[in-house]
Structure 1
Amino acid sequence: MVNIIPIFVILLSTLLISSRGNAVESPRCGGRIFVENTIVIEAPVHEDCHWDIQTQEDRILVITALNGNLKEAQEFLSIHDGSDKDSPILLVENQKTHERSRKDLPEAVYTTQSTASIRFKKAPTSNLQLKIQKAVDCPFNLGGESQCARAVDDVSCYCATFTQRDHSSQTTYCNNNNMKLLTLETYEKEQAIKAAWNGISFWTSLTDTVQEGEYIWESTNTYLYPGYANWDISEPEHAALKDCMYSSWSGRWHDYGCDNALDAICQAIP
């Protein structure tokens, strides 16, 4: 019976620290954590607490402070890029910022791989919570005439390409770079994208190629209606061969011939 209780505690702890959608809290001092989506770590009341953190292999981790300042918190902890003993330390001041990223995003550190470790050297003097999220890697560009940014939130990535191509070619371009052609499911997302890249017209993945008037976001295979839409006056025209949608420099949607050449924005979402 003496040996059964510790095993039960370990199993219970594993259930508590596995993220399943919404953020969940971890135990107060150390352990192994798999991040499905988001998890919150409470600062320990003891020294020498050590968390090993992992997410799915093709994703990275982003760590922010829910309360307090992450840069100041580095006095109490170290965040390592990987779980090996000699993994390099990630510092807020060394993080490169994408030029077009949202300016109101919290201070964060990003790993370069799917694992990290957080080691508390001493207990913080005030309450501190760390939020750890699964994120996609975000390059600074996809080659010539392109620009990437965390334009919507701190876990996704968006890349604009200013080489004009037809709709099919832009879809292929995004796919070849492990991304998808843009979807605009909400007003807030659209405004964030336009704040990052103002004054350009760009292809999205919205089409009614299969059935006239039945619009589908091809990148997510979801229907437009019921949902957010931002058509310009008298749009869509439902004219012959106008089966693709672009967002114009003025900020409204137009149906357009898919063979026309336009800029595009790609997206990668965890």
Structure 2
Amino acid sequence: MVNMIPIFVILLSTLLISSHGNAIESPLCGGRVFVENAIVIEAPVHEDCHWDIHTQEDRILVITALSGNLKEAQEFLTIHDGSGKDSPILIVENQKIHERSRKDLPEAVYTTQSTASIRFKKAPTSNLQLKIQKAVDCPFNLGGESQCGRVVDEVSCYCATFTGRYHSSQTTYCNNNNMKLLTLETYEKEQAIHAAWGNEVYFWTSLTDAQQEGVYIWESTNTNLYPGYANWCTGEPNDGRGVQDCMYINYESNGCWDDNDCEIYELDAICQAIP
């Protein structure tokens, strides 16, 4: 017998796979779906609807409710950490909250691996939409003198290290923990970082003009600063002594940006991991 893929599965894949981060809705029930960035699934109008969800192997999944309540939804569905029939069931109450995570993030459940299954035991009595996103795993710390959390959104992770190091050493430290030294592309992101760690003093970032004087690049993403968001302190950058090639956040001056010598001063740093 020739193996055939059911038409609804083909249609499901076409509707739900998102290549540009746009959540796409589908009324179809069940199937196997790859999450490139984010998808939205509608609750079924009947029972026994089963979704197998997966994303890239070095990422995890986070599930939130766009409409309806995720805690109340557990009366109608189960979310399994993995695609196997005996995979552990994830519930909102069991999700550990990082010390520095934003308090206004939506209720969510996180997998510990790149796969999950959602099984509707019965149809909900009200409209329910589940948003499923690719996320990074977030440790609770990176060892002594560090803090981590979902500081900006529910899919990324940020960790502050309060051990002073030279700029290159902080870059290596982040890389060794599967993260990158901080980038600040928007005012909103900087405000989120400020809300988490603005009571500290100095943090190295990955912004530098070491390769070409005056041409600032976020090394962690290899993108130019300009045109883009910037928050330099008054009179900065001034390239003092001709060797100040690395940018740090100066919380003694309300969190504006300053340049300094990369290998003379040992400052704290913030690492980031973004899906």
TM-score bin, normalised by smaller chain? over 0.9
Matches within 5 A, 1:1-270: 7-21=6-20, 22-200=22-200, 201-239=202-240, 240-249=242-251, 250-259=254-263, 260-270=265-275
Q: Structure 2 CA distance, aligned partners of 1:68 and 1:266?
A: 34
Displacement after TM superposition at 1:20 (Å)? 1.8
Name which of structure 1's ranges 27-36 and 144-153 shifts more when overlaid on structure 2: 27-36
Amino acid at match of 2:250: S
Amino acid at match of 2:156: S
Any idea what the Cα deviations from partners look like across 1:140-159, whole Å, max 9, x if unmatched?
Answer: 00111111000000000000
Amino acid at match of 2:227: P
Q: Against the structure 1 CA distance between its residues 264 and 122, is the aligned structure 2 distance closer, same or farther, given a 3 Å change threshold? A: same
Displacement after TM superposition at 1:99 (Å)? 1.2
Q: Match of 2:255, SS?
A: coil
Identity rate, percent: 78
Q: Match of 1:236, SS?
A: coil
Task: Report the aligned-residue RMSD.
Answer: 1.5
Question: 2:100, 2:150 within 8 Å by CA — same for their partners in 1?
Answer: yes
Question: 2:81, 2:113 within 8 Å by CA — same for their partners in 1?
Answer: yes
Any idea what the Cα deviations from partners look like across 1:174-227, whole Å, max 9, x if unmatched?
Answer: 000000000000000000001011222100000000111110000000000110
Q: Structure 1 CA distance, aligned partners of 2:29 and 2:7?
A: 18
Amino acid at match of 1:14: S
Amino acid at match of 1:236: P
Name which of structure 1's ranges 234-243 and 24-33 shifts more when overlaid on structure 2: 24-33
Any idea what the Cα deviations from partners look like across 1:221-253, whole Å, max 9, x if unmatched?
Answer: 000011000000001112211000000112110
Question: 2:12, 2:33 within 8 Å by CA — same for their partners in 1?
Answer: no
Displacement after TM superposition at 1:69 (Å)? 1.0
Question: 1:42, 1:130 within 8 Å by CA — same for their partners in 2?
Answer: yes
Question: 1:36, 1:134 within 8 Å by CA — same for their partners in 2?
Answer: yes
Question: 1:38, 1:131 within 8 Å by CA — same for their partners in 2?
Answer: yes
Question: 1:17, 1:27 within 8 Å by CA — same for their partners in 2?
Answer: no
Moved over 3 A (4+): 5-10
Question: 1:28, 1:45 within 8 Å by CA — same for their partners in 2?
Answer: no
Question: 1:232, 1:253 within 8 Å by CA — same for their partners in 2?
Answer: yes
Q: Structure 1 CA distance, aligned partners of 2:5 and 2:185?
A: 47
Q: Structure 2 CA distance, aligned partners of 1:161 and 1:120?
A: 42
Any idea what the Cα deviations from partners look like across 1:13-59, whole Å, max 9, x if unmatched?
Answer: 22112222211123431111100000001000010100000000000
Q: Structure 2 CA distance, aligned partners of 1:6 and 1:263?
A: 54
TM-score, scaled to structure 1 = 0.96
Amino acid at match of 1:123: A
Question: 2:31, 2:50 within 8 Å by CA — same for their partners in 1?
Answer: yes
Q: How many residues get paired?
A: 268
Question: 2:239, 2:260 within 8 Å by CA — same for their partners in 1?
Answer: no
Q: Structure 2 CA distance, aligned partners of 1:60 and 1:14?
A: 20
Q: Match of 2:229, SS?
A: coil
Displacement after TM superposition at 1:12 (Å)? 2.4
Q: Structure 1 CA distance, aligned partners of 2:130 and 2:140?
A: 26
Unaligned 5+ runs, structure 1: none
Unaligned 5+ runs, structure 2: none
